[in-house]
Structure 1
């Protein structure tokens, strides 16, 4: 890779991710959601009644971050907390009726952002793109093998 191109892929990925987050955040804000709240809502839509620790693990964030966001969503009446039936020290988080209704707006915002992002790519290109992203995610998540020099080893 030429010297001028070093870091180009990472710079492009970071720039694209930032633009996607900004675009999605703008749509979500129209529905009263702030950055990160949508992820908690969608995680609960897929599996309601998770603990804050389970949500933090699922979303890859620290528990204090989840707690603050849960409290905000609870104040907005999208979520409710209930004590565990087995351990009163443990809380479980559930969507309210208002929260379940808001999921539709979140999903619509995500679909609209994705549609704009993938505009001009045919189905085959979209499938290839998703495959490349999955490979990058796999490599970055620590699932890729690293050799003694700290370089990612080829799996092929």
Structure 2
């Protein structure tokens, strides 16, 4: 059987992720954040004072990627790091006032990127697509835990 990339969920998911990232980059750049920073911002908007390890666990990304992302966010004035009061080996990560100020606009930008890319779908098709994506992610997580 020949491989048809347009019939491959893996290939299509990769293309879709790139499209979403580009759409968010265009919108986020105006606000001062990059697409890779958005998941970190979402976690910190929900709960400040997390450590890098806690962010790694929540976002399931590589340590080096997280370190680079946090360094860029610090450079860009989105976060500050403070020594953890109980664990001198780790630092807590807090949002700057600038990052707090862009929360609503950043979330709107992400919604606009979603709407732009899914504009050709009817509401029930969007809901099905999201449900299928959540199911696939849940299966992938289950498979990773049993491997």
Q: TM-score, normalised by structure 2?
A: 0.85
What residue in structure 2 maps to residue 84 of structure 1?
A: 84
Runs (5+) with no aligned partner, structure 1: 147-156
Q: TM-score, normalised by structure 1?
A: 0.81
1:19-42 deviation per Cα after TM superposition (whole angstroms, max 9, x unaligned): 111111121122222231111111
How far did 1:145 drift?
9.9
**Bigger helix fraction:** 2
What residue in structure 1 maps to residue 59 of structure 2?
A: 59
How far did 1:4 drift?
5.4
1:57-101 deviation per Cα after TM superposition (whole angstroms, max 9, x unaligned): 211112232222212212222111111111222110011211111
Q: Which has the larger radius of gyration?
A: 1
1:101-129 deviation per Cα after TM superposition (whole angstroms, max 9, x unaligned): 12222212101001112213232222211
Matches within 5 A, 1:3-152: 3=2, 5=4, 7-143=7-143
Give the 3-state SS of the residue equivalent to 2:35 in structure 1.
coil
Count of matched residue pairs: 146
Runs (5+) with no aligned partner, structure 2: none
| RMSD value, Cα | 2.4
Which structure exhibits the higher relative contact order, with contacts defined as CA atoms closer than 8 Å and separated by 6 or more residues?
2
